[in-house]
Amino acid sequence: EPDADATAPASEPTSDELLAAERAAYERAAPVFAEHCAHCHTPRPGRAKQPKGVAHFSMGGYPFGGHHAGELPATIRKVLGATGDEPTMPKDDPGAVRGDELAAILAWADAFDRAEAAGAHGHAAAGEHGHGGHDPDHGHGGHGGRDPDHGDHGHGGHDPDRGEHGEHGHGGRDPDHGEHGR
């Protein structure tokens, strides 16, 4: 008699499994990000002027922040030359990320995309708790939340009136307030 488990279709990975796989891929890629990306993409606490790259892609923690955080896998593939384009990053040595280092970054990008496609980042409704929340009415919680009235909680939320990101945010960009949350 055949084993029912052997013939049953494989179940889709859960959101938790996808996020765990993404985190594991990030941990493997983290040394490459640190060596080749951190200089321009890590916030410098206490400095008024931040590296220009921080606004686009902030490595101040994981998940990444910055206003392009949700687009990061596609952007990374392009700027590192994985799409066939000439590499444009790292800025000081374009094309330096190659071989096993590039493979680690691309494995992370693939894991991120799988989690994103399955909705594991959890921002489909109101941008809450995920990467790249873009709900026009709330924008809460997502990395890259862009709500003009709230912009709360996410890394890279862009509240033009207050520049704050609530208790969990980083990178407020309002020149009058510049509040970064806690």
pLDDT one digit per residue (tens) for the chain, 182 residues: 555 556 656 789 999 999 999 999 999 999 999 999 888 888 888 888 877 777 778 888 899 888 878 899 999 999 999 999 999 999 999 999 999 999 999 999 999 999 999 999 986 433 333 444 333 333 333 333 333 333 333 333 333 333 333 333 333 333 333 334 33
For residue 70, give the 3-state DSSP assignment. helix
Task: Return the ∠ at Cα 164 (arms to 49 and 47), rounded to 5°.
Answer: 20
> φ and ψ at 131, to 5 degrees?
-95, 135
The sign of the dihedral angle between the CA atoms of 105, 108, 114, 115 is negative
Radius of gyration of the chain (CA): 18
Q: What is the DSSP letter of 14?
A: P
> Are the beta carbons of 153 and 145 closer than 8 angstroms?
yes
